[in-house]
Structures are given as C-alpha cells and as structure tokens.
Amino acid sequence: MISSLTEEDVAERTVKQPRNLTVRKASMRDIGPILEVINDYAAKGIMLPRTEFEMSENMRDFSVVYSGGELLGCGALHFYSPTMGEVRSLAVAERAKTMGVGRLVVETLVKEAVEYELDAIFAFTYVPGFFSKVGFDEVERGELPLKAWKDCLRCPKFQSCDEIAVLRVLNPERWEISPAEPGPWEQGLLVQLPTIRKSALPQ
C-alpha cells in the first residue's frame, strides 16, 4: 500500500489552490506531521503504518508541501538502482483533497528523478487514472524489480494484492528496442524491463 490517493484526488480541483504553498525537501522536524498524515490513513487500512525509526532512516527520500505551518502533502522518491526509483508514501491531508497537492508532490519527485538522471520511476497505486494524468503508464506489476516488493512482505494484502503498477519513462532512448542491438536491460544498464501496456515512447 503505497499511496493514500483516492478517486477524489483524480477529480478536477473544486477548491482554489492556496497561494502560499511551500514545496521543499523534508527535514527531521517534519517527521511528526508526516507520521500523523500517513498513520491516519494506515488506521483505515489504506497505507502501511510508519514509525519514527523508519521515517528517520528514510527522511532524505521525502518532499513535503506546506501551507503556512500546516502539512498538506508528502511523498518520497526511493532509489532501487542507478537507473530506477519508486514514488512511495504519497499522502495528502484530508482538507487538501482536490487542491492539486498530490499532483504537485508527484511533479516535484519527477523533477528530482530527472536531476538524478534516472531512466524511469514506478509506483504501486489504486488510482492509475491519477498517475496517467502525470505521465505514467500501467505495467505488469510482476515484472518490476523484486526488491521493490520488500515492503509488501509486511502488508496484510500481500497474498491478494490488488494494487496496480505504473511506470513513467524519463529517458526513452535507453528503453528503445532495436532488433540489431541488445536492449539496455541485456547490457546490465537496467533492472528488468517492464512491459509497457501503453507505449511511452515517441511515435
């Protein structure tokens, strides 16, 4: 369970986005507010619960959105290989629903992934429609790197997971398939090649 987003977040914004939004990398002082948002959703069975220890280990992955002194949303970019990362722990405060905070967090994480020269990022979600609007495509979840599943082992839905895997290709040139040349995954440049259902490559 990666994201707290629901169909409500996919809808067009009905509330005017606050002008005083601050988007930044998270710091240790954000652990409390992030835990409050994530564990509120965990109590409803939507996300995995997190502890202060886990957050302390992973705070450098997180970006946050604030309005004044109030946390409106958070998300993390977790690296799995030199070329691949995952968007995870994406959560939006209840009062920030339909404000576009979820999109803002994802766009911030995508920008970070580009800065780190990742070739692709993926996520597990219940709302592929939301991720489709920010450039992701559905993929076969079983073809993602096996180590991406390590958090799933402690999920109560592990044996009957119904989340959908989505992928956004950031460097199409390294994902092109040429019959005359081995693909980048065969050259050891990528960790497995997900099969994109809807091509992300330029026509």
CATH code for the domain in which residue 148 is found: 3.40.630.30
How is residue 63 annotated by DSSP? E
Structural domain including 131 reads 7-173
Q: pLDDT for 181-202, tens place per residue?
A: 444 444 443 434 444 554 444 4
What confidence category does residue 11 fall into, taking pLDDT thresholds of 50, 70 and 90? Answer: very low
Rounded to whole angstroms, the Cα distance separating 21 from 8 reads: 20
- In sequence order, what are the residues at sequence separation of 6 or more whose Cβ sits closer than 8 angstroms to the Cβ of residue 18? 67, 99
Q: pLDDT for 83-119, tens place per residue?
A: 889 999 999 998 887 789 999 999 999 999 999 999 9
Could you please report the per-residue DSSP string of 69-99?
Answer: TEEEEEEEEEE-SSSEEEEEEEEE-GGGTTT
Nearest Cα neighbor of 134 from 97, 109, 112, 115 is 109
Rounded to whole angstroms, the Cα distance separating 38 from 141 reads: 24
Copy the structure tokens of residue 92.
């939006």
Determine, yes or no, domain membership for 72.
Answer: yes
Determine, yes or no, domain membership for 195.
Answer: no
Q: pLDDT for 12-66, tens place per residue?
A: 444 455 568 999 999 999 999 999 999 998 888 778 889 999 999 999 999 999 9
The total number of structural domains in the chain stands at: 1
Determine, yes or no, domain membership for 62.
Answer: yes
What's the pLDDT score for residue 14? 42
Is residue 65 within 8 Å of residue 104, measured between CB atoms? yes
Determine, yes or no, domain membership for 167.
Answer: yes
Determine, yes or no, domain membership for 185.
Answer: no
Place of tokens 């939507």: 46
Q: Residues 115-124: what's their mean pLDDT?
A: 92
Is residue 101 within 8 Å of residue 22, measured between CB atoms? no
Determine, yes or no, domain membership for 183.
Answer: no
Determine, yes or no, domain membership for 163.
Answer: yes
Determine, yes or no, domain membership for 60.
Answer: yes
Q: pLDDT for 133-182, tens place per residue?
A: 999 998 876 666 554 555 555 555 544 556 788 999 998 877 654 444 44
Q: How do 120-125 and 137-139 pair as beta strands?
A: unpaired
Cα dihedral 166, 126, 1, 94, rounded to 10, equals: 120
The sign of the dihedral angle between the CA atoms of 149, 154, 157, 158 is: positive
Is residue 45 within 8 Å of residue 153, measured between CB atoms? no
